[in-house]
């Protein structure tokens, strides 16, 4: 289709999604990317250089990515006369099916709603997949960072993130408060005047499609457990229901059986015959369990807000948010992105760690079936870290390390492939 500001590359083809949702990846796919605000300007070009080098090295010119810049956030506002979220960006991601993005700014308190959340909602990217693994040599605040090897499946379309909020002092907020008190008989709104109200939708369908992905992942990767993380003791009909629907799904769709009368469920991996235990942990307890007993957890399925907290906390455990990758997935579209934000105080300084976005691209290459190139990126990351040539975030915690810039770190990775 014709775009207003997006320049479609002269060469390259679309990735096609087959009826069974598998991908048909041409040798020269067009991949849309959003540079991102803040440090996006630093990390995105480095990510592209590292990916291009890995692909060139792995396939000797037989495969090549044609990158296509698309726009959201500050760069979009400049280009599209103040439109931060151009419709054609969504169209391009839908048309090309696999894309990658840098971080986007969201103002706190007032202002526009999160563009990151909007992308996930508009494209129904209901799974936020955030693997957490340690690279040998990376400095960590814990004694055995290698014990933390988890994959977070964060529900990405519901919960308090749905953005149904009413500002204190508005007619809308008062109307909701009056309805809850007068029609629903609520007596527990401590200060019913001048109160902000947020609504937390959590559905059976939304929960089950996320937990289904998490269990399927445990099956495909032959992992021993799926932990449902929730605050269901307090929020019974949202977070508690998430837990109950998760257990129900494990039994109904995966042939799971109650363990010792429940609520834990045991199921047999149909591919390997190994046991997969589906269990649950309350969210606050989980935040200490991941520090004290990380080896007991592998796949984690959780709601949107819990997943946001847990993914930053776990990232810190294995060396920080500078190397924490992620993907936002529907059944047909994949939008890869770093776990961290725009880190505005470092923007444009060629300073921050590009690892998070590069490892998100590594996930993208695997999603495309380009595993040889993905493996080279892991080699490059391991090589650069083990040589002790690292960005400021690692250097400040590593004895004898050499400080390099964002772009130099990318070059070191390329040298080590
Ligand atoms: N998906 C997205 O696009 C996301 C966007 N955001 C948005 O980003 C903005 C800033 O959010 P904020 O809460 O400051 O969180 P950030 O993740 O942007 O930054 C917090 C801190 O994390 C560290 N950090 C972040 N990225 C890197 C990196 N690449 N390398 C090394 N260290 C890094 C820095 O720590 P130190 O100071 O110790 O060096 C930084 O000060 C907000 O507008 C927020 O809404 C936030 C999260 C995700
Ligand atoms: O959208 C934002 O600004 C923040 C999102 C976020 O923190 C996340 O997705 O991890
Ligand atoms: Mg976050």
**117 CB within 6 A, ligand 2:** yes
Catalytic (active site) residue 312: no
Average of per-residue pLDDT values in the chain? 96
Q: How far apart are the first and last CA of the chain?
A: 37
State the closest ligand 1 atom to the C-alpha of 105, by its place in the atom list counted from 1.
Answer: 43
d(CA 360, CA 369): 14
Which residue lies with its CA nearest to atom 37 of ligand 1?
343
Residue 10 CA: distances (Å) to CA of 5, 7, 143: 15, 9, 51
Q: Residue 141 annotated as binding?
A: no
252-295 tens-digit pLDDT = 999 999 999 999 999 999 999 999 999 999 999 999 999 999 99
- Indicate the pLDDT class of residue 320, thresholds 50, 70 and 90: confident
DSSP characters over 166-190: E-TTSHHHHHHHHIIIIIT-----S
d(CA 7, CA 306): 38
Catalytic (active site) residue 126: no
The alpha-helical segments, DSSP class H, found in 18-109 are 40-59, 74-79, 87-96
Question: 416 CA distance to ligand 1 centroid (A)?
Answer: 27
Strand bridging mode 299-302 / 327-329: unpaired
Residue 260 CA: distances (Å) to CA of 232, 245, 257, 297, 331: 21, 19, 9, 20, 35
Task: For residue 213, count other CB atoms closer than 10 A to its CB.
Answer: 19
- Under 8 Å between Cβ of 384 and 412: yes
For the cut 70, the answer to whether the pLDDT of residue 410 exceeds it is yes
**Which residue is it, tokens 């650069």?**
384
Catalytic (active site) residue 49: no
For the cut 80, the answer to whether the pLDDT of residue 1 exceeds it is no
Which residue lies with its CA nearest to atom 1 of ligand 1?
103
For the cut 90, the answer to whether the pLDDT of residue 162 exceeds it is no
Number of residues in the chain: 417
- Indicate the pLDDT class of residue 108, thresholds 50, 70 and 90: confident
Question: 343 CA distance to ligand 1 centroid (A)?
Answer: 4
Residue 17 CA: distances (Å) to CA of 91, 157, 367: 15, 22, 12
Q: Which two tokens stand for residue 203?
A: 């559905």
Q: Which two tokens stand for residue 20?
A: 């069974």
pLDDT at 111: 78
State the closest ligand 2 atom to the C-alpha of 337, by its place in the atom list counted from 1.
Answer: 9
DSSP characters over 350-391: S-S--HHHHHHHHHHHHHTT-HHHHHHHHHHHHHHHHTTEE-
Phi-psi region of 130 (alpha: psi -120 to 50; beta: other; left: phi over 0): beta
- In this prediction, what percent of the chain has a pLDDT beyond 90? 95
Q: Given 37, 244, 308, 350, which residue is catalytic?
A: 308
For the cut 70, the answer to whether the pLDDT of residue 20 exceeds it is yes
**114 CB within 6 A, ligand 2:** yes
- Indicate the pLDDT class of residue 223, thresholds 50, 70 and 90: very high
d(CA 180, CA 187): 9
Mean pLDDT to the nearest integer, 387-416: 96
pLDDT at 112: 82
The ipTM is: 0.98
Give the single-character DSSP code of 113.
Answer: P
292-314 tens-digit pLDDT = 999 999 999 999 999 999 999 99
- In this prediction, what percent of the chain has a pLDDT beyond 70? 100
Q: 69 forms bridges with which residues in the sheet? A: 33
Q: Calculate the CA 180 to chain-centre distance.
A: 35
d(CA 364, CA 374): 8
Question: 127 CA distance to ligand 3 centroid (A)?
Answer: 14
Question: 126 CA distance to ligand 1 centroid (A)?
Answer: 22
Which residue lies with its CA nearest to atom 8 of ligand 2?
308
To 5 degrees, how large is the angle CA 163–CA 92–CA 59? 120
Mean pLDDT to the nearest integer, 403-414: 98
pLDDT at 161: 87
353-371 tens-digit pLDDT = 999 999 999 999 999 999 9
For the cut 80, the answer to whether the pLDDT of residue 110 exceeds it is no
42-80 tens-digit pLDDT = 999 999 999 999 999 999 999 999 999 999 999 999 999
- Indicate the pLDDT class of residue 248, thresholds 50, 70 and 90: very high
Q: Residue 256 annotated as binding?
A: no
Catalytic (active site) residue 231: yes
24-46 tens-digit pLDDT = 999 999 999 999 999 999 999 99
Of residues 337, 303, 309, the one with CA closest to residue 119: 337
113-128 tens-digit pLDDT = 899 999 999 999 999 9
Q: Residue 306 annotated as binding?
A: no
Strand bridging mode 30-34 / 127-132: unpaired
């Amino acid at each position: 289709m014709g775009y207003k500001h997006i320049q479609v590359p002269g060469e390259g083809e679309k990735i096609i999604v087959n009826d069974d949702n598998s991908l048909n990846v041409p040798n020269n796919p067009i991949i849309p990317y959003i540079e991102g605000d803040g440090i996006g300007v630093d990390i995105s070009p480095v990510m592209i250089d590292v990916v291009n080098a890995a692909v060139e090295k792995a396939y000797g010119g037989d495969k090549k990515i044609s990158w296509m810049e698309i726009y959201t956030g500050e760069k979009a506002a400049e280009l599209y006369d103040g439109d931060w979220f151009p419709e054609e960006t969504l169209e391009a991601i839908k048309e090309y099916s696999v894309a990658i993005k840098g971080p986007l700014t969201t103002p706190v308190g007032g202002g526009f709603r999160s563009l990151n959340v909007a992308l996930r909602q508009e494209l129904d990217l209901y799974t936020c997949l955030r693997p957490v693994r340690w690279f040998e040599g990376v400095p960590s605040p814990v004694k055995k960072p290698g014990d933390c090897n988890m994959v977070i499946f964060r529900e990405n379309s519901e919960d308090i993130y749905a953005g149904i909020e009413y500002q204190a002092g508005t007619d809308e907020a008062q109307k909701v408060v009056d309805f809850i008190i007068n029609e629903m008989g609520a007596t527990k709104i401590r200060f019913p005047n001048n109160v902000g109200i947020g609504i937390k939708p959590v559905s059976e369908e939304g929960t089950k499609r996320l937990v289904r992905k998490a269990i399927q992942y445990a099956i495909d990767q032959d992992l021993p457990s799926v932990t449902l993380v929730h605050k269901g003791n307090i929020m019974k009909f949202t977070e508690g229901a998430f837990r109950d629907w998760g257990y129900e799904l494990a039994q109904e769709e995966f042939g799971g059986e109650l363990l010792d009368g429940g609520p834990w469920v045991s199921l047999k991996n149909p591919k390997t015959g190994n046991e997969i235990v589906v269990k649950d942990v309350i969210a606050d307890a989980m935040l200490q369990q991941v520090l004290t007993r990380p080896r007991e957890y592998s796949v984690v399925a959780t709601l949107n807000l819990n997943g946001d907290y847990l993914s930053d906390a776990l990232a810190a455990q294995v060396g920080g948010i500078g190397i924490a990758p992620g993907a936002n997935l529907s059944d047909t579209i994949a939008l890869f992105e770093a776990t961290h934000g725009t880190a505005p105080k470092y923007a444009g300084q060629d300073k921050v760690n590009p690892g998070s976005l590069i490892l998100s691209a590594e996930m993208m290459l695997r999603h495309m079936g380009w595993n040889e190139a993905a493996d080279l990126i892991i080699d490059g990351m391991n090589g650069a870290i083990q040589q002790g040539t690292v960005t400021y975030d690692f250097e400040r915690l590593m004895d004898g390390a050499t400080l390099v810039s964002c772009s130099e770190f990318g070059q070191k990775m390329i040298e080590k492939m």
